[in-house]
Chains A and B, each alone.
Chain A
Amino acid sequence: MNSHSKSCSAILLASTKCIGIIVCSFLMTASNVRAAEPHIRRITPAGLSSGQSRSISLIGERLSDVTGILFYDQRLKASEFKVTDDKNITFEVAADPSLNNDLYAFRLISKTGLSNMRLLGVNKFPSVVEVEPNSDFESPQVIELQQTIDGTVRNEDVDYFAVELEAGQTLSVELEGLRHASDQNFFDPSLAILDANRFEVASNDDATLLRQDCLCSFQALQAGRYIIEVRESSYGGNDDCLYRLHVSNQTRPVTMIPAGGKPGELLQATLIDDLGNSWQEEFQLPDSPTESFSVWSNRNGVQSPSPNYLRVVELENYVEAEPNGDMKSVAPVSVIPAAFQGVLQEENDEDFFAFSAKKDQRFEIQSVTRSAVRSPADTVLNIFKLNGNHLAGNDDNKGPDSFLDFKAPEDGDYAIRVRDHLGRGGIDFVYRVELNAKSPSVQTDIAEQSRYQSQQIVVPQGARTAIEVKVNRRNIGGDAMVNLEGLPAGLSAEAVLCPADRSSVPIVIRSSSDTALSATLASIRTVITQGDTSITGPLRQRTQLIRAQNNVDVWGFDCNQVAVAATEAAPFDIEVIQPGVPLVRDGTMNLKVKLHRKEGFDGQVRLRLVYNTPGMSANGSIRIEKDVTETEIPITANGNATLGVWAMSLLAWTSIDRGDIKLSSEPFTIEIADRIFDFAFNKAMGEVGKPIDVLVGVKQKRVLEGTTEIELVGLPPGTTCDASKVVFDPTAEQVVYRLNVPADAKPGSFKTLNCRGTITSDAGVITQTNGTGEVQIDVPLVAAPAAPAPTASPEPAAPKVLTRLEQLRAMRESN
């Protein structure tokens, strides 16, 4: 995972008053322009100072009907919107002084939807804008310590900043670059500190704590001018490569130990900076478990430019006590589950921890060293019988981190060995390994309706939309009740049940016709109850901010809330006629759809189901063209489609000014039922010029109301059947079709025959199609001699039609 969860408590659209102002602003400037799906490409500058307000410009697409900003932290407020045109807007942002140095997510709110997510930096240092030209080492931009510089690395650009240092003074520089990029603009910055003679005194490309962003510090031995060099790591860059450079006289911690604690605990931690210095600080941990909890060092009153992360879980904390480089020197800990922490101090350092377990006791042993703590250590875990054999090991089951599902083979003591995969070590090589019993958990995610775009909930007035909520159960089964909470006034959604045998469920969110335009963040609470046990799980949604080559997820934002917006009414509505009959395995069905156009709307509307059930598929590219109001969507179920009644909804959208307005139908159900017919094909043979009888064994497994017909399809080329569709008596066992084979029919073996069974009733048509039957058409070996003139005789009774097998048996008996 490439980002940290944010506990995004409630949202905030600045305030109600603020919204009013924003909307008003929009109405005055662009009242005749409509757009949807606003998109932010560039934010200039990329942040501001806490306790201050700053004018921010946005460049993007479809911005003309933007009405406000949905900040994921209510301590940021926006005002004074100016929509210049479809691609440019400016506004004033005020950052509350209580905001910590961090990145804060936001989306634009428009009348028709929500924009992509972007991050705004907030830092306690005063902000200074980069002034070009500063690409010459000899003429750098002079800056002060304790400043944040907002700059841009253009193509093959190098920016130089000069600071004056006294002897012994520390310079610590952190660069936010990657963290401000988005889309597929992979900005990988590089940082160096040079002395006046161009010699590098410190440099950094990728800091593990900051991923591709960088951090470097040094202590000046001599007073003088020092130059900070900023560039893309391989001289790339473009106008969208914005950065914020934090220049400080205080180093920041790159890691801390212990790397986590229990909820509610006041944690005393040792912090270690990138120069190898360490000091102590206390952190109040939250009351609820948090995978990666942000904390800030306040060394000498200077807050770190960005947070460090602590793991907050209900585990007993154990910090290594040297010597522990040998199994023999460690004793089992007194309490498990437990979290083991330590530092791989030197090259090839190995640390051991011991615990006791009963036979067949199962544990999940995982390192959260990189994922949660962002330590440079690439841990390898090995489990031994204490002072005995090696039992299991893992390096990278969870990315660079290790994971083991361990079952104790016998009662006794066991040892966990922790080491770095490359045998590296250092004061910052902190690790945290958690030994936990397997415990149940549930969390949800929302399926993306556009690839790589985290799903938002946008509901037009008087209509509805549908999302597919994925329910991820771990070590637990059973029905899950999924509840969407925190919707703004006017929007509603009913809690839905995700049955035990299903991993996703659709939720329909409705908007009344008088819902005010608004946006907020909602959450999803999922509850699984089994007997007396009830567990609750949150939403965990990841928004990919940077996708690299092959859509690799490089940087993103994890949140437990989803953005919701109530938007203007859509110019249409959609209705699905509830099917009256089931869709059977190997069957097809046409879903009838009605489009209700509002006056003046004659656009094309595209349709697709919110999801496909297992084994079912529906045409996802059906369109209702201009002036058409009805259509049918073909749906098929394969032979293994999962049976049951499935809640469903149909998504419909139209494009307005290059953006899409989307809504959904009222929910309906699709029942997937088992096959009704069993068809048995017998191979049929004959000669050109003569009719061939095709015998199909039919077994109707259930008797349903309506007319049953069995149709033979897939006839060989040139052949015909006078009665290819026959009404079938459910009690019968066989249908015989007579193929007319003309003299010029193509001889050969044709494995193309299929039978289509239909049951037509007032409720609808059930259709099932199966194959495959074979018919062989031969050319006669010798022309038949002229037959003697038949003598008049009474018409014999029609002989029984024999299958090919029966014909052969008859021949053998006659011989």
Chain B
Amino acid sequence: MLQRNLFARSAFTLLGCLSLSIGLSVQSTIKAEQPTDQGKWQSIQIYPPSILLTGKTDIQHVIAVATRSDGITRNITDEVRWDADADELFELKDAVVKPLKDGSTMLHANWHGLAANAKLEIADCNSVPSVSFVNDIVPILTKAGCNTGSCHGAARGKDGFRISLFGYDPRGDYERITREIGVRRINLAIPENSLLLLKATGSVPHTGGKKIEVGSDHYQTLLKWLVDGAMVDTGELPTVTKVDLYPKQIVLEGENQKQPLVAVATYSNGLTRDLTDLATFGTNNDRSAAVDARGTIEAGVRGEAFVMARFDVHTVGSQVLTLPASLTYEPITSPKNYIDQHVANKLGKLRISASKLCTDEEFLRRCYIDIVGLLPDPAVVDSFLADQSENKRSELIDVLLSRKEFSEIWASKWAQILMIKSSNDVSYKAAFLYNKWLTNKIAEEVPIDQIVQDMLTSSGGVFDNPATNFFEVERDRLKLSENTAQVFMGIRTQCAQCHNHPFDRWTMDDYYGFVAFFAQIGRKQGEDYRQNVVFNSNGGETKHPVGDQVVKPKFLGGATPTVGPGQDRREVLAKWLTSDENPYFSLSIANRVWAHFTGAGIVEPVDDFRVSNPASNPELLDELAAKLRSYKYDFKQLVRDICNSDTYQRSTMPSVDNADDLRNYSHALPRRIPAESLLDCICSATNTKEKFRGLPLGAKATQIADGSTSNYFLTTFGRSPRTTVCECEASTDPSLSQALHLINGNSVSGKISQGKLINTWIDSGLNDDQVIEQIYIRCFTRKPTADELERLKKVVSDAPNRVVGLEDLFWATLNSREFLFNH
């Protein structure tokens, strides 16, 4: 049933509008001068593309935007000539459409020969809807900031008045406003004297100051609600089903360019609402694109920003690029594959040139570290550099992908975010078997979706079926559901445990609906006292903390499935999670794989997919995800695509105009080698073996099964302690301890003496030039330049003896940034 009280405006506003709009028709305005680059403008658009006005008080802001052939956009709202087939139906003034009569028509915009149309429908023009607390009052409180965490939305409220954070509990808010402390906050006899209004308008002392102007639209709506008796909503209320923000993509050329946004909410009853005065606008890059409270963007310095609008539980955003005027750049002309094409498109929009490709030496070292976590043997270096074939890079990639170390690297990465670690709940054996299971699955090229399904639906003993350890490393069902969302979908739902997510779409309903999938996990002791048995208990429910009602299982961002009695909810979840219906799974996996090889996720952090944290290149991410799906989740093929792209093979040396680019892949990013691989590289460079608890001598650090196994080197260099599912636990940030350990610790100097390579080389008759070359090839995968060689030989000759000099040189090489970084 349509609910007319949805878009209430106060009666006072209504009267004012009527008196002003009578007899007025559409205003046509062409204020600006002719654009100098008129020939390049390709099209114009009207936003929103269709307008629905319902009731006397409904309005809609409209904008017109022109798009140039090179993607530049421009606000031409004030420049277009507005026209309509039936202009008696409405009034358009100051870019606001107001209804006059019921009917339907087309709104036209014309600008220098370019035209655009928008459909306009007006209904119930003579009705004045009543005010809804949930749909009218709460949004005003949200827009005014009353229910933020720093004000009355705090857990304990503020100054004795508490309402729910961002309005997640409107029923509770109604009770507190109208019932708490008697009726202190409202005065139905003299509504204007209600404390709610007096505080909001700053008429009485208010810590938050004046939030609403007396007489403003918001004030009038609040007052009307009070005048009408501060009634509670009855019946089924329409809910916001989506919010649209226009334009979706904005490219502004030159500073101080402005572009207003239009936000429109669509309700479950089909009606729409202009959110210009109600949405909360924000930006993630103020310097490039600031946005004001009414959603107008102002271009700043060159850069990229994501401007978002939040209303109800919906947050939507638009991408904004700001460029200096008259910028020139060198476009990518021959992309090698789809990855290069999407990167080229993005760089083209940003007018950023790409760096040239890296050398064979750089590629060889980079590929080895990225794919197998090791340095190439000197023999491999020689043969690769001597190889003149065109496909040698591709062939190398294929060879490396077939090695077991590839699966070990990825098992180690997954082990970090799956928190494989012995603890009071997980025995060392369980952790070991869990890691072994994971490594074997990856080695056997079991598709990722299948591995995830196996984990999520696993039952049995933690030794018999190690996948069940997924439910043992974290037994708290709330955290388990959060971890599942973060690990497999890249979504952080933690906020929504206590309140609707402030910067994303996730609500408490979503949160507890997702938790409900984990409500029926049973555990019991196995015959072996160390072995717990995980099973589907067929019983147990999750209750919503607001209302204490049982919550049915609901896919995160998806439907509420029908789960039959006795059916394992985890199976239902696993099937959906890895299906094409869930867009996040493939996106998340693709993004993690991409980030491993480029040093930056397209969504960064890789496990924080959020409306307010958009992808830097959504088209690229979408295609990577689509490819992953088409490869049946054989992510090795995706790695092949990535490593074969020019994007991956670009030099780390930036060009003049791309040095500042860290997210658009115009050049490769030098990356500190992760702790485990770095130790393995030091071992291979020095020909030594490391010993870890619970593994045979010579095992690689990437083979460590148990997160609680570490050593000083690994801990210092940021090995993931595996205490949370966050990818950020593994750190490559530099620290003084790292420098001191490399300089003074036994990881470098001890291994140089332990490996005895210098002595071996000397004993085999190599001269200084040859030894230095061996050191360089082992550590840097390249030969020293003539200049380097000259200087290094002097260092050796100045040393007390030859062995000491060469060992010092080896030590210095291992301490260099060129060694520590993958570049």
Q: What is A's interface to B at a CB cutoff of 8 Å?
A: 135, 156-158, 188, 205-206, 211-212, 233-236, 370, 378, 395-396, 399-400, 421-424, 548-549, 552, 554
* 8 nearest A-B pairs in the assembled complex, by CB-CB distance: A234-B432, A552-B529, A234-B429, A235-B694, A422-B459, A156-B696, A400-B527, A234-B428
- Give the A-B contact count at a CB cut-off of 8 A: 51
Q: Report B443-475 residues with CB < 8 Å from chain A CB.
A: 459-460, 463-464
B533 interface residue per 8 A CB criterion? yes
Question: Closest residue of chain B to A370, judged by CB?
Answer: B527
Question: Closest residue of chain A to B429, judged by CB?
Answer: A234
A160 to B: closest C-beta gap in Å: 12
Q: What is B's interface to A at a CB cutoff of 8 Å?
A: 428-429, 432-433, 459-460, 463-464, 524, 526-530, 533, 535, 694-697, 705
Whole-angstrom CA separation of A400 from B532 in the bound complex: 12
Whole-angstrom CA separation of A422 from B527 in the bound complex: 14
Q: Pick from A205, A395, A548: contact of B433, CB below 8 A.
A: A205
The answer to whether A554 touches B529 (Cβ under 8 A) is: yes
Cross-chain pairs A/B with CB under 8 angstroms, 21 sampled: A156-B697, A157-B696, A206-B463, A206-B528, A233-B433, A234-B432, A234-B433, A234-B694, A234-B705, A235-B432, A235-B696, A370-B527, A396-B524, A399-B527, A421-B533, A421-B535, A422-B535, A423-B459, A552-B529, A554-B528, A554-B529
Q: Which residues of B contact A158 (CB under 8 A)?
A: 696
B424 to A: closest C-beta gap in Å: 11
Whole-angstrom CA separation of A400 from B460 in the bound complex: 13
Q: Which residues of A contact B529 (CB under 8 A)?
A: 548-549, 552, 554
B412 to A: closest C-beta gap in Å: 17
A421 to B: closest C-beta gap in Å: 7
The answer to whether B460 touches A422 (Cβ under 8 A) is: yes
Q: Pick from A422, A423, A549: contact of B533, CB below 8 A.
A: A422
Q: Pick from A205, A548, A549: contact of B463, CB below 8 A.
A: A205
Q: Which residues of A contact B429 (CB under 8 A)?
A: 188, 233-234
Q: Pick from B428, B433, B524, B528: contact of A212, CB below 8 A.
A: B528
A381 to B: closest C-beta gap in Å: 16
Question: Closest residue of chain A to B436, judged by CB?
Answer: A234
Whole-angstrom CA separation of A788 from B36 in the bound complex: 128
B708 to A: closest C-beta gap in Å: 13
Question: Closest residue of chain A to B466, judged by CB?
Answer: A205
Q: Which residues of A contact B696 (CB under 8 A)?
A: 135, 156-158, 235
B522 to A: closest C-beta gap in Å: 9
The answer to whether A233 touches B527 (Cβ under 8 A) is: no
Whole-angstrom CA separation of A331 from B463 in the bound complex: 40
Binding site secondary structure of chain A = loop
Q: Which residues of B contact A554 (CB under 8 A)?
A: 528-529
Given A233-B429, A234-B705, 10 further pairs, Cβ under 8 A: A158-B696, A206-B528, A211-B528, A233-B432, A234-B429, A234-B694, A370-B527, A421-B533, A423-B459, A548-B530
B668 to A: closest C-beta gap in Å: 35
Question: Closest residue of chain B to A550, judged by CB?
Answer: B529
The answer to whether B695 touches A156 (Cβ under 8 A) is: yes
Q: Which residues of B contact A370 (CB under 8 A)?
A: 527
Q: Which residues of A contact B526 (CB under 8 A)?
A: 400
B126 to A: closest C-beta gap in Å: 65
Whole-angstrom CA separation of A135 from B697 in the bound complex: 11
Question: Closest residue of chain A to B524, judged by CB?
Answer: A396
A393 to B: closest C-beta gap in Å: 13
Whole-angstrom CA separation of A83 from B533 in the bound complex: 48
Q: Which residues of B contact A548 (CB under 8 A)?
A: 529-530
Q: Which residues of B contact A188 (CB under 8 A)?
A: 429
Q: Which residues of B contact A421 (CB under 8 A)?
A: 533, 535
Q: Pick from A157, A205, A236, A396: contact of B694, CB below 8 A.
A: A236
Question: Closest residue of chain B to A424, judged by CB?
Answer: B460
B442 to A: closest C-beta gap in Å: 15
A274 to B: closest C-beta gap in Å: 14
Whole-angstrom CA separation of A66 from B341 in the bound complex: 84
Q: Which residues of B contact A552 (CB under 8 A)?
A: 529
Whole-angstrom CA separation of A554 from B531 in the bound complex: 12
Question: Closest residue of chain B to A156, judged by CB?
Answer: B696
Q: Pick from B460, B533, B535, B695: contact of A235, CB below 8 A.
A: B695
Whole-angstrom CA separation of A421 from B529 in the bound complex: 18
Whole-angstrom CA separation of A424 from B530 in the bound complex: 21
A530 to B: closest C-beta gap in Å: 38
Question: Closest residue of chain A to B460, judged by CB?
Answer: A422
Q: Which residues of B contact A423 (CB under 8 A)?
A: 459
B477 to A: closest C-beta gap in Å: 20
Question: Closest residue of chain A to B529, judged by CB?
Answer: A552
Whole-angstrom CA separation of A554 from B464 in the bound complex: 18
Whole-angstrom CA separation of A234 from B530 in the bound complex: 13
B296 to A: closest C-beta gap in Å: 61
Whole-angstrom CA separation of A399 from B524 in the bound complex: 11
Q: Which residues of B contact A234 (CB under 8 A)?
A: 428-429, 432-433, 694, 705
Whole-angstrom CA separation of A460 from B428 in the bound complex: 47
Q: Which residues of B contact A205 (CB under 8 A)?
A: 433, 463
Select the residue from A158, A211, A234 with max chain B CB neighbours within 10 A: A234
Whole-angstrom CA separation of A395 from B460 in the bound complex: 15
A142 to B: closest C-beta gap in Å: 21
Question: Closest residue of chain B to A376, judged by CB?
Answer: B464
B159 to A: closest C-beta gap in Å: 50
The answer to whether B535 touches A156 (Cβ under 8 A) is: no
Q: Which residues of A contact B530 (CB under 8 A)?
A: 548
Whole-angstrom CA separation of A234 from B422 in the bound complex: 12
Select the residue from B432, B524, B527, B695 with max chain A CB neighbours within 10 A: B527
Question: Closest residue of chain A to B431, judged by CB?
Answer: A234
B456 to A: closest C-beta gap in Å: 16
Whole-angstrom CA separation of A234 from B703 in the bound complex: 13
B549 to A: closest C-beta gap in Å: 29
A216 to B: closest C-beta gap in Å: 14
Question: Closest residue of chain B to A200, judged by CB?
Answer: B440
Whole-angstrom CA separation of A157 from B530 in the bound complex: 22
A235 to B: closest C-beta gap in Å: 5
Whole-angstrom CA separation of A233 from B526 in the bound complex: 17
Whole-angstrom CA separation of A186 from B708 in the bound complex: 21
Whole-angstrom CA separation of A235 from B428 in the bound complex: 10
Question: Closest residue of chain B to A235, judged by CB?
Answer: B694
Q: Which residues of A contact B695 (CB under 8 A)?
A: 156, 235
Q: Which residues of A contact B527 (CB under 8 A)?
A: 211, 370, 399-400
Q: Which residues of B contact A235 (CB under 8 A)?
A: 432, 694-696
Q: Which residues of B contact A399 (CB under 8 A)?
A: 527
A254 to B: closest C-beta gap in Å: 15
B383 to A: closest C-beta gap in Å: 24
Whole-angstrom CA separation of A414 from B428 in the bound complex: 46
Whole-angstrom CA separation of A420 from B696 in the bound complex: 38
Whole-angstrom CA separation of A548 from B460 in the bound complex: 22
A186 to B: closest C-beta gap in Å: 9
Q: Which residues of A contact B464 (CB under 8 A)?
A: 206
Q: Which residues of B contact A396 (CB under 8 A)?
A: 524
Whole-angstrom CA separation of A400 from B428 in the bound complex: 23
Whole-angstrom CA separation of A295 from B527 in the bound complex: 23
Question: Closest residue of chain B to A208, judged by CB?
Answer: B527
B208 to A: closest C-beta gap in Å: 57
A585 to B: closest C-beta gap in Å: 41
Whole-angstrom CA separation of A236 from B693 in the bound complex: 9
Question: Closest residue of chain B to A378, judged by CB?
Answer: B533
Question: Closest residue of chain B to A186, judged by CB?
Answer: B530
B458 to A: closest C-beta gap in Å: 10
Whole-angstrom CA separation of A423 from B460 in the bound complex: 10
Whole-angstrom CA separation of A422 from B462 in the bound complex: 13
Question: Closest residue of chain A to B459, judged by CB?
Answer: A422
Question: Closest residue of chain B to A188, judged by CB?
Answer: B429
Q: Which residues of A contact B459 (CB under 8 A)?
A: 422-423
The answer to whether B694 touches A156 (Cβ under 8 A) is: yes
B446 to A: closest C-beta gap in Å: 15
Q: Which residues of A contact B432 (CB under 8 A)?
A: 233-235
Question: Closest residue of chain B to A553, judged by CB?
Answer: B529
Q: Which residues of A contact B460 (CB under 8 A)?
A: 422, 424
Whole-angstrom CA separation of A500 from B705 in the bound complex: 58
A103 to B: closest C-beta gap in Å: 20
